[in-house]
Amino acid sequence: MNHRRLLRAAVTIAVTGALATGMTMVLTTGASAGTTLGASAAEKGRYFGAAVATGKLSTSVYTTILNREFNSVVAENEMKWDATEPQQGRFSYTGGDRLVSHAQANGMSVRGHALLWHQQEPGWAQGMSGSALRSAMINHVTQVATHFRGKIYAWDVVNEAFADGGSGGRRDSNLQRTGNDWIEAAFRAARAADPGAKLCYNDYNTDGVNAKSTGIYNMVRDFKSRGVPIDCVGFQSHLGTSLASDYQANLQRFADLGVDVQITELDVMTGGNQANIYGAVTRACMNVSRCTGITVWGVRDCDSWRGSDNALLFDCNGNKKAAYTNVLNALNAGTGTPTTPPPTSPPPTDPPPTTPPPTTGGCSASVSLNSWTGGFVATVKVTAGSAGTNGWNVSVTLPSGASVTNTWSATASGSSGTVRFANVDYNGRLTAGQVAEFGFQGTGSGTGMTPTCTAS
């Protein structure tokens, strides 16, 4: 969902209303008076979202609040690894698809959560390690991001990979033990699979300048300097009874690295300070031009993973709490529209796509690569010649030592040396000039592959 479109829609409604009542109206990005969280955030070019358990979409109190107040959703559990790939290579998207449909029907954007996380790994992955796990996890990223391609505003590509405490280093996990480059490999695979989604790193206990947030800050700075595709950092913000005094400054230092920042899982311990903390977090986001939106981790207090903390904006009966009012006021008082440039592609460390020979009859193919140490994802474009195709075959000779570990939108014969990729049933028939795309993932280096295409 395009937030500028929501913003335009909000402005159009406001202007139409003003004209209808004969008033003159000054458009401003300053103080405004939206009456719902989503509309008020949209007036400032931002989103306001909630984590959703799809099982609750049939509860009318819940869905009424969701549809009225929020213009973004994230699946509380349904897009995680254990839910989407319960058995290796068998993917299940029922819950995720349901949420996407609900969002599309109600004009909401979708955050994707989370492609890789050391928790909620399916049992089969928990028992894996080394190169087998590396391959499985990259395949997971590729398949899931491909399935939801074009439907996700921002993906949490990697969740909670840094250690708590003072080390500022990575958390130990079977993912981490596949090699320190696992995070960048995941981001590259996600970019290749869904180039339109913003790609975020997401973590908790990062609510001020501290050892953990600084470890993440250093990783993001390193990624930006080396062209690893990262667009945003998520600050979960599961908060207690006080807020770090440098909460906003911490958001700002990340934004200054050239990434968007988002508050991704906000909830706050109940008590005297709850409403104040909610207001302060919202103001901090509004004061950082690259803070593009806020998501609360549930709708009503009883929906929250935090049990008796009563940590959300609505009570169990669906009534607005004082915290709600503070958030709404802070959204309406906020100034400025965030700058949301489209995802930035890394400078090409891989060679540019090969230029196919001019196409007359037959077909041509070109390949583009996303590589990391020890592996790559190749995206191949097949272009039909003047006669069109009934089917096609693409041959690719892999460099020695490289092999194909999985393929999508084509069927592979062989895995090393010269590998032949044949169309699948839905992408074989192309009219003149029409393009089909398929991809494969490999181990080793994929540099220097030249595909040749044969049409039938």
Catalogue the active-site residues: 265
CA distance 180 to 271: 41
Dihedral, CA of residue 415, residue 421, residue 426 and residue 432, to nearest 10: 160
Size of the site for ligand 9MR (CB under 6 A): 9
Residue the block writes with tokens 């979708």: 110
Interface with ligand 9MR in residues 348-387 (CB under 6 A): none
Instruction: Check binding of 301 to ligand 9MR (CB under 6 A).
Output: no
Instruction: Check binding of 85 to ligand 9MR (CB under 6 A).
Output: no
Which residue from 69, 194, 260, 265 is in contact with ligand 9MR, where contact means CB under 6 A? 265
For residue 72 the two structure tokens come to 């973004």
Rounded to the nearest whole angstrom, what is the least distance from the CB of residue 420 to ligand 9MR in the complex?
A: 41
Rounded to the nearest whole angstrom, what is the least distance from the CB of residue 439 to ligand 9MR in the complex?
A: 28
Interface with ligand 9MR in residues 133-162 (CB under 6 A): 159
Instruction: Check binding of 119 to ligand 9MR (CB under 6 A).
Output: yes
Sign of the torsion angle spanned by Cα atoms 303, 306, 307, 310:
negative
Q: Given the complex with ligand 9MR, which of 120 and 415 has the nearer CB atom?
A: 120
Which residue from 59, 67, 77, 289 is in contact with ligand 9MR, where contact means CB under 6 A? 77
User: Nearest CA to 140 among 98, 79, 195, 97?
Assistant: 79
Which residue from 59, 63, 92, 120 is in contact with ligand 9MR, where contact means CB under 6 A? 120
Instruction: Check binding of 76 to ligand 9MR (CB under 6 A).
Output: yes
CA distance 344 to 290: 14
Which residue from 72, 236, 427, 441 is in contact with ligand 9MR, where contact means CB under 6 A? 236
Instruction: Check binding of 126 to ligand 9MR (CB under 6 A).
Output: no
Sign of the torsion angle spanned by Cα atoms 216, 222, 225, 231:
negative
Sign of the torsion angle spanned by Cα atoms 421, 424, 426, 431:
positive
In three-state secondary structure terms, 376 is: strand
Q: Given the complex with ligand 9MR, which of 76 and 231 has the nearer CB atom?
A: 76
User: Nearest CA to 205 among 172, 155, 244, 173?
Assistant: 244
Residue the block writes with tokens 């207690």: 240
Interface with ligand 9MR in residues 185-214 (CB under 6 A): 204
Which residue from 305, 320, 353, 374 is in contact with ligand 9MR, where contact means CB under 6 A? 305
CA distance 30 to 55: 38
Residue nearest to ligand 9MR (CB): 305
Contact positions vs ligand 9MR (CB under 6 A):
76-77, 119-120, 159, 204, 236, 265, 305
